[in-house]
Amino acid sequence: MRAPLFAFVVLAVGCGAGKETDGTGSLRDSGGGFEPDTSTGIEPGEDGAVGFDVTDDVAIDSKLLSDAACAKSTVAASRPPVDVIVAVDTSGSMQEESVNVQNNINKMSDFLKASGVDYRVVMIAMPPNPLFPPGFIPAICVPPPLGGPSCASNPPLYRQVPNEVGSKDALKVILSTYDTKGKWDDFLRPDAFKAFIVVTDDNASAPTPEPIHTTFDAELLKRGSGTFGTATARKYIFYPICGAKDSDNSQKCGDGMVNNGQVYVDLAKLTGGRSYELCNKDFGPAFSGVGKGLAAAVACEILVPKPPPGETFDPTKVNVTYTPSSGAPVTIEQDASKPCAGGANGWQYNADKTKIVLCGDACTKLKADPTGKVSVELGCATKIKPPM
């Protein structure tokens, strides 16, 4: 049985310099470093199938490992989880679009599930009113498997927050419902990467003062004691489905749009996301694109695993190995000489050494190879990229 994308194998090892495991028990000579590949041009947050594919229940030949005098145990690693917050404008002009959302949001869920991403979804929108016939007024009823039966929440995967979202107040409602009036702060995980999807044919008029997108950003970052990151290291991204045209998001995609939703476009630019056209009759590609973008946003981060019982984690004895879908394994050397954004090409720790972050060509290469494998080896002296 094949495991989902983004699965990782972590091998705890004690020695054996110059040898790498391919994740199946056989040992191969190290490839001597990571070869840059700039042909793809893929950057974090862009669409595209990404991830790593390994096999469930990786078989480790105990005799081979014993002979190599390296392996002590095998520990499962994981990626940062993702929490998605969706706010849908259910004003009178959004009847068709509301149906489009509920008919297609499972496509985002399906992609995240298939990618092996640990995700949750919060839906801020009014459910159908039993006093009116179905479809009479805009409302959101998310069907299974994401939603529960009869428009219900589906914990711990999905929670609906029944709150009206008007034409211009989606951002205001996101802030006001966070820890009051229905609340969803307790549904989020502090270590999760957050994504916001606002679906509307209008623009935001709050929170003020102008510019609204920076005021919202500042207010959001105040909440949750770091849940959404900081101004220099945000832990959230914006993917609006709004009136902006894909080819020129300063323009409306159609005459039926009230506004291009410039505030939401600006939030997408600020956080590294992108907008999708509300004019499209099928939201399937938009929700699938969001799923791919979210997977890409966390594709180059690996949570540092806990050491085996009785052992202590030594950050100077960690190595990262990449086995491409075709070819021999190679070592991704550590490059802490500069930040990822400053041109580092290898791997490095985040500030508190809870994550291994892949930078430069290493990140690009891994995103372009959906069936590649990654292992993190604990116990041998870290291989460091030589200074240029």
pLDDT at 199: 96
pLDDT in tens, 30-50: 334 334 344 434 344 444 333
Judge whether residue 191 has pLDDT over 60: yes
Average pLDDT over residues 60-86: 58
Whole-prediction pTM: 0.72
The pLDDT tens digits of the residues spanning 329-367 come to 889 999 999 999 899 999 999 988 988 999 999 898 877
Question: What is the CATH code for 82-297?
Answer: 3.40.50
pLDDT the model gives residue 371: 57
Interval 274-305: pLDDT, tens? 999 999 989 989 998 898 888 778 878 888 88
d(CA 303, CA 203): 37
- Does the pLDDT value for residue 8 go beyond 90? no
The segment(s) of the chain belonging to CATH 3.40.50 are: 82-297
- At residue 304, the pLDDT reads 86
At residue 243, does pLDDT exceed 50?
Answer: yes
pLDDT given at position 220: 97
